[in-house]
Amino acid sequence: MQSKTSFLTHLHYDHVGNFDRFPKARFHLQERELAYATGRYMQYPRLAHSFEVEDICGIVRLNYARRVMFYNGDAELAPGLTVHAVGGHSAGLQFVRVRTRRGFVVLASDVTHFYENMASGRPFTTAFHIGKMLEGYDRLLALAPDESHIVPGHDPLVMKLIRLRAGNSRASRCGLTCRHRGPRPFVLTICRGSSRYRDDLDGKQNAFEERYTCRAALTSPPQLLESASAVRFRF
Ligand SMILES: [Zn+2]
């Protein structure tokens, strides 16, 4: 299965890594995020450590190849499918909202790492702008019917909830997908990856990343994806 559209919520290595495994995709990104990742703040290790310079160079090359779509703020890409710029954790961070049979689902990415950050108003430690991060929690809640329709970027609880509902581990093998309802329905897959740890299969960090990476979904037959999307949003 070849994805033609990929949303880059931001350019941290654990969200943009392995982009080269989507050779036919166009990447949708906030313009500010690329400016941030190539700008003056990257001289500071405390901010730069979340980026992998080869990933950033790769996105610049994709831009020269006309494979990056830039946004400046919120945008509607199709009826019921929108991106929302929030900043905070990274300068050009965005999240995605998609209309499904179960209502609007908000794919938060790192706007909130865990449900806990959003619920307690406690900022995550990796931050560019604390105020915008806090506003981001408000925006997630404002654009979702309730918390159960929000998918945080790093919370193991998401996969636990899916397994509980699905009664098996299929969802975890496939990653998370949701089916967009609209004139032209399509499946949206949450895909995370890290090229930084690609070769370090025994590393703990890699194990953590693998749990959230749905590489299997790239080669799964469509019916498996549909099955995953069917279980995904019941919790
Ligand atoms: Zn991040």
CATH number at residue 35: 3.60.15
Measured in Å, residue 110 CA sits from the centre of ligand 1 at 5
Share of the chain above pLDDT 90, in %: 49
Rounded distance from Cα 51 to ligand 1 centre (Å): 9
Instruction: Report CA(11)–ligand 1 centroid distance (Å).
Output: 7
Q: Is 3 helix (H, G, I), strand (E, B) or coil?
A: coil
Q: How far is the CA of 8 from the centre of ligand 1 (A)?
A: 11
Q: How far is the CA of 169 from the centre of ligand 1 (A)?
A: 26
pTM equals 0.75
Range of the domain at 193: 5-232
145 Cα to the center of ligand 1, angstroms = 24
CA of 128 to the centre of ligand 1 (A): 11
Q: What is the mean pLDDT of the chain?
A: 76
Residue 112 has a pLDDT of 95
Cα–ligand 1 centroid distance for 223 (angstroms): 31
Which stretches within the chain are classed as H helix? 13-16, 31-37, 45-48, 53-64, 115-120, 130-143, 156-166, 170-174, 204-212, 215-219, 222-232
Position 44: which residue type? Y
Q: Cα separation of 148 and 82, whole Å?
A: 19
Q: What was the pLDDT predicted at 215?
A: 28
Q: How far is the CA of 59 from the centre of ligand 1 (A)?
A: 16
Residue 101 identity: R
Q: Model confidence over 75-111: pLDDT tens digits?
A: 998 888 999 999 999 999 999 999 888 889 899 999 9
pLDDT at 51 > cutoff 80? yes
* Alpha carbon distance 186, 124 (integer Å): 32
Domain count for the chain, please give it. Answer: 1
Whole-number Å distance, alpha carbon 36 to ligand 1 midpoint, is 13
Query: Can you tell me the distance from the alpha carbon of 97 to that of 110, in angstroms, rounded to the nearest whole number?
Result: 14
Distance (Å) from CA 153 to ligand 1 centroid: 8
Is residue 29 within 8 A of residue 113, CB to CB? The reply is no
| Least trusted range by pLDDT, from 24-33, 103-112, 170-179 | 170-179
What pLDDT score was predicted for residue 17?
85
The CB density around residue 141, as the number of other CB atoms within 10 Å, is 17
Choose the weakest-confidence range: 6-15, 99-108, 214-223.
214-223
Mapping DSSP onto H, E and C, the string for 65-97 reads: CCCEEEECCCEEEECCEEEEECCCCCCCCEEEE
- Six-digit token string for 147: 């918390």
8 Å CB contact between 80 and 121: no
pLDDT tens per residue across span 133-156? 999 999 999 999 988 889 998 888
Place 186 in a pLDDT band, splitting at 50, 70 and 90: low
d(CA 110, CA 93): 8
Q: How far is the CA of 183 from the centre of ligand 1 (A)?
A: 32
Tell me the CA–centroid distance for residue 4 and ligand 1, in Å: 23
Q: What is the Å distance from ligand 1's center to 162 Cα?
A: 23
